[in-house]
Amino acid sequence: MAFEGLTSRLQGVFSKLRGKGKVSEDDVNEAMREVRLALLEADVNFKVVKEFISKVKEKAVGKEVMDSFTPGMVIIDIVNKELTDLMGGSQAKLAKSNRPPTVVMMAGLQGAGKTTTSAKLAKLLLKGNHRPLLVAGDIYRPAAIKQLQVLGEQIKVPVFSLPEGNSPVEIARQALQHAKDNGNDYLLIDTAGRLHVDEELMEELRQIHEITQPDEVLLVVDAMTGQDAVNVAESFNQQLQLTGVVLTKLDGDTRGGAALSVKAVTGCPIKFAALGEKIDALEPFHPERMASRILGMGDMLSLIEKAQSNIDADKAKEMERKMRNAEFTFDDFLEQMDQVKKLGPIDQIMDMIPGMGKMKQMKDIKVDEKQMGRVEAIVHSMTKEEKQNPDMINHSRRKRIAAGSGTTLADVNRLIKQFDEMRRMMKQFSDMMGPKGKGSKLMKQMQGKAGKGMRFPFR
Ligand SMILES: Nc1nc2c(ncn2[C@@H]2O[C@H](COP(=O)(O)OP(=O)(O)OP(=O)(O)O)[C@@H](O)[C@H]2O)c(=O)[nH]1
Ligand SMILES: [Mg+2]
């Protein structure tokens, strides 16, 4: 998962601070030295790191921190805020022209994800009741047009293309007219990629730019390429005046360098993040949410948004009540799994829940869809009573369950142990987030944003 290394390093630094009742200047310096290393290791641009650290230090040695009863928490708050600022502060929205169509031009190196992202963006716009038109502007790679057409068909968005012999500039020109004639309010132009930034490509992009006067020039960069992505962004920006960046492949194990450096280096905000190959794996980029994800504090807001559009509210309410009262049974567990599956890949979900990402590493719990199938088989092999009273599942029952589900005794033991742990964590978590909890300022802010009652993810 993205940022794993960075997250665990930062959590290590902060857990040392958190325990302290008083923090000395030496403690702050030591912590900042470690944060600096963690960022460098995550492939963040060194100038960006330097500036970041000096900003955090300036605030962290201030009176407020030293006088606080929870200085560690205050420092985490400061880092969180600076990380957010580093990625642009607040969400940078997609442009909307008051003389439609809004023209969005995609640019980027080969394989960065331009074509896929064009289609994903069309899908997002469609959901927002827009009428996008996709434009097949890559005439060089065989099958590039076909690729876009297939994607367009899948999401029911029209794709504009011209027969062989027409230049990308001509295609763009006619597409713009077509959009005007047909009432398309967004024109999404897919362009060709090159292995490197070269003059010929830039010239073509400049011409398309000239003729369509885009409202957005989005550079699509592969987050997996770290610093390189930032260099690419810089040279594209010099030639094309980018208006935004789309970071793709954030579902991979990218270290974080691109996400954390690109805004600071180029001045271009990250507007979208792509987290998978599927057509709906594109999200508006929220700096503050990304910062808390990086700090391992989860991303409750995104999860809540996802949940709200996918999950049955009444069931979720009932589930929350059970969790709070520690009445959670294996039946509920199955039910919960069904609901969770609707949200998307399970390891992405885990990372959005505060503490879960860390737990995943610590306990070496492998969560994948296959494993979920096995877990389901085990639970289905339990009797009605066993599901309701997990505590009654003794050794001989476990053996029977293992045989019945085609798994091993070790599998069953592990699941029951995890289930107990999960129940305990839920309890802790709900106490922590509850009205009487003494959560950090940040937790309270999050709660405030999420609204009353949204204390557990699934509602
Ligand atoms: N895992 C993952 N794969 C992605 C993501 N975005 C794109 N891809 C994959 O990356 C590959 C390249 O994507 P394309 O959209 O064809 O890239 P492109 O920039 O149009 O490439 P060219 O047209 O050859 O320059 C495809 O296999 C995509 O499925 C993402 O966010 N996550
Ligand atoms: Mg392409």
333-355 pLDDT, tens digit each: 887 777 777 777 666 776 666 66
Q: How many residues does the chain have?
A: 459
* 365, pLDDT greater than 60: no
The answer, yes or no, to whether any atom of ligand 1 lies below 6 A from the CB of 368, is no
Kindly give the distance from the C-alpha atom of residue 384 to the centroid of ligand 2, in angstroms, as a whole number: 53
Residue 380: per-residue pLDDT:
92
Top mutation candidate among 110, 116, 120, 204 for ligand 1, by most atoms within 8 Å of CB: 116
Ligand 1 atom 4 nearest Cα: 277
Cα–Cα distances in Å, from 99 out to 95, 103, 118, 212, 452?
12, 10, 21, 13, 40
Interval 209-231 mean pLDDT:
92
Residues within 5 Å of ion ligand 2 by Cβ?
Answer: 114-115
Q: Among 134, 277, 279, 348, which residue has the most ligand 1 atoms within 8 Å of its CB, making it the best to mutate?
A: 277
Cβ(2)–Cβ(252) below 8 Å: yes
pLDDT of residue 195: 83
Q: Measuring CA to CA, how many Å separate 46 from each of 60, 293, 451?
A: 21, 22, 38
d(CA 399, CA 406): 11
Give Cβ neighbours of residue 368 (< 8 Å, ≥ 6 apart).
346, 347
pLDDT at 438: 41
Q: Is the CB of 296 under 6 A from ligand 1?
A: no
308 falls in which pLDDT band (50, 70, 90)?
low
Cα 249 to ligand 1 centre (Å):
8
345 touches ligand 1 (CB under 6 Å):
no
The residue nearest atom 12 of ligand 1, judged by CA position, is 111
Beta bridge partners of 217: 105
How close is the Cα of 151 to the center of ligand 2, in Å?
A: 11
Q: What is the pTM of this model?
A: 0.72
Confidence of residue 307 (pLDDT cuts 50, 70, 90): low
Give the Cα separation of 429 and 372 in Å (integer): 23
pLDDT-derived band at 126, boundaries 50, 70, 90: very high
Helix/strand/coil for 284: strand
Provide φ and ψ at 286, rounded to 5°.
Answer: -115, 110
277: Cβ below 6 Å to ligand 1?
A: yes
Report whether residue 151 contacts ligand 1, using a CB cutoff of 6 Å: no
pLDDT in tens, 29-54: 999 999 999 999 999 999 999 999 99
More confident residue, 126 or 295: 126
Ligand showing the shortest atom-to-Cα distance for residue 121: 1
**CA separation for the pair 406, 241 (Å, rounded):** 59
Instruction: Give the position of tokens 């024109």.
Output: 187
**276 Cβ inside 6 Å of ligand 1:** yes
Rg of the chain in Å (alpha carbons):
25
Which residue puts its alpha carbon closest to atom 14 of ligand 1? Answer: 113
